[in-house]
């Protein structure tokens, strides 16, 4: 894949990641204000239904691990909450189509997250967030959490949620790693948008 396509793909993934992180953060802020000292109990099913009401786009990643199909991850993007991250339809400032096809999940930390979308360096439960190293440092990298990660609230833009395919996420999470790098190549073999 050419360098331009890799950069474009990275930018798309970055925007997607930013969008999901912001949505997650805004969702937590509104929940905290609503409870204001009261204990609010929600069923997990109700929370998932509420999350899905925010979905404006549905996208997918087909995953291969060591050149074998490992499943499809379908994600809902929160375009109304973070439109700059999730609403640009795969066209960046270059006006060229951007995608994550053939990019890798290059970082896997069990009981935390799987990270992908590093097109520039290659070394970088169900919430999609933008990976960053501090304020104003979001790029193309994103991560999908594999557990609840409340300690990240306010630090990463949430721009979506896994709708189906958590089993593929967990397959990636359970890959053997060395220094958080999967020993077998974990590739997004195809990606795209699905109808809502």
Distance CA 53, CA 15 (A): 20
Distance CA 4, CA 25 (A): 32
* Catalytic, out of 98, 128, 156, 159: 156
Catalytic residue at 112?
A: yes
| Token representation of residue 149 | 């990660």
β-bridge mates for residue 72, sequence order: 62
Catalytic residue at 142?
A: no
β-bridge mates for residue 104, sequence order: 187
* Catalytic, out of 107, 128, 142, 159: 107
CA 174 to chain centre: 18
* Catalytic, out of 25, 57, 115, 159: 115
Catalytic residue at 107?
A: yes
* Catalytic, out of 18, 22, 77, 152: 152
* Catalytic, out of 17, 24, 61, 143: 143
Cα separation values, 170 from 80, 106, 113, 117, Å: 28, 15, 9, 18
Catalytic residue at 152?
A: yes
Phi first, then psi, for residue 112 (nearest 5°) are: -150, -75
* Catalytic, out of 62, 132, 138, 141: 132
Q: How many CB atoms lie within 10 A of CB 107?
A: 22
* Catalytic, out of 112, 125, 155, 184: 112
Catalytic residue at 171?
A: no
The H or E element spanning position 62 is strand 57-65
Do the beta carbons of residue 100 and residue 12 sit within 8 Å?
yes
Distance CA 127, CA 66 (A): 25
Active site residues: 107, 112, 115, 132, 143, 152, 156
């Amino acid at each position: 894949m050419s360098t331009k396509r890799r950069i474009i793909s990275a930018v798309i993934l970055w925007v997607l990641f930013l969008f999901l992180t912001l949505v997650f953060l805004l969702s937590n802020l509104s929940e905290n204000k609503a409870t204001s000292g009261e204990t609010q109990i929600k069923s997990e099913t109700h929370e998932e239904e509420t999350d899905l009401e925010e979905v404006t786009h549905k996208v997918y990643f087909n995953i291969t691990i060591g050149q074998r199909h490992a499943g499809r991850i379908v994600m809902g993007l929160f375009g109304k909450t973070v439109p700059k991250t999730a609403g640009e339809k795969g066209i960046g400032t270059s006006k060229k189509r951007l995608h994550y096809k053939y990019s890798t999940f290059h970082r896997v930390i069990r009981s935390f997250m799987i990270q992908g979308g590093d097109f520039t360096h290659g070394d970088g439960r169900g919430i999609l967030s933008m990976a960053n190293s501090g304020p104003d440092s979001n790029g193309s990298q994103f991560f999908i959490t594999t557990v609840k990660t409340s300690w990240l609230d306010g630090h990463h833009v949430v721009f979506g949620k896994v709708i189906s395919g958590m089993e593929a996420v967990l397959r990636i999470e359970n890959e053997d790693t060395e220094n958080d790098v999967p020993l077998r190549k974990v590739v997004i073999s195809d990606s795209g948008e699905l109808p809502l």
